[in-house]
Structure 1
């Protein structure tokens, strides 16, 4: 590994690392729902369950499984197919538009997380978004006045890649695309199963709890050479 020149920023505690020959920058990769934004999918499904007199846990787990089983989350089917499967299983009669709205309006973006991602990038680190999302992600990005995806150098969306975080191959693909070794990738997610998958690949995986705790983890990772 080549030499590394450090420029310390005393205000944030994050070290800016300038790339030298043979050096590969470290990367910080974020989940979307539950990290960059509130977990709109889970909370939206629970709201739909309450409105229809259904058990929240049973409905959430069933509707979550269907988004994988129908192929919507990996872009091999469309939203209409997904909601039709949900309606058939649970006896709903609401339109696709109404069901979608219950979910999208609950993906409330956390501005401090977007600022944090942009700040990391300015200091020379690679940033990415790794999410099991559908085309809803792009609707959210269009409707957000300040923009969401512009804060990340790389966006890995299961809908486009036809792979989800349940697939080990997705993590290998991210490594290859970032041209970064597993141990130089820090991954932030709110789902313990995804954290386990990343850790098995050798990534530093952090279960998201809150912004303050995450910042401490990232600062330690980006300054530890």
Structure 2
């Protein structure tokens, strides 16, 4: 891997991914809301930002997303569900990465290895959901998984060496996860190392799949 683009590079995981890649000798370009005004929920903003990035890349990593958009914490019960939160989560966590892939698709090489990876979350697994709650976040990540799986099928028809994947970083230690003391947590730096290791080990026959930080498949 020689050159990568990290989108959402100003966030905790995004910054750590940039540092990890650069530490491995990868040339990294970055885009973010804070530095570049990128709004991944706005298609014109996505197109303009990507058009401004020149050159060929081996990896596009989308690290954007949020646990909540209009409230302080994820929903604990169905009574907490609101249209505003669900729609905002869908736009940011599902539509955003899909728009990036849409406008990068024509730049995916046809004969060399390329990876498009986006941060998903284990809670987006329908089959693994035994706790309930977190309705908007779970739904948005399940939608992201579906969008990227479908895109992987399409892209594989013409770009045999391309890999499109959803990645679960584990529970990353942040100010928000301080409220969840029972979860095993990793630093952003540990998460980044694990995720880049996974990316480096992926093969084209694994495109369209959902993996955790240890390269273990997660059920849909």
TM-score bin, normalised by smaller chain: 0.3 to 0.5
Q: Tell which has more relative contact order, 1 or 2 (C-alpha 8 A, sep 6+).
A: 1
TM, length-normalised to structure 2:
0.36
Name the one with the larger helix percent. 1
Larger-Rg structure: 1
TM, length-normalised to structure 1:
0.35
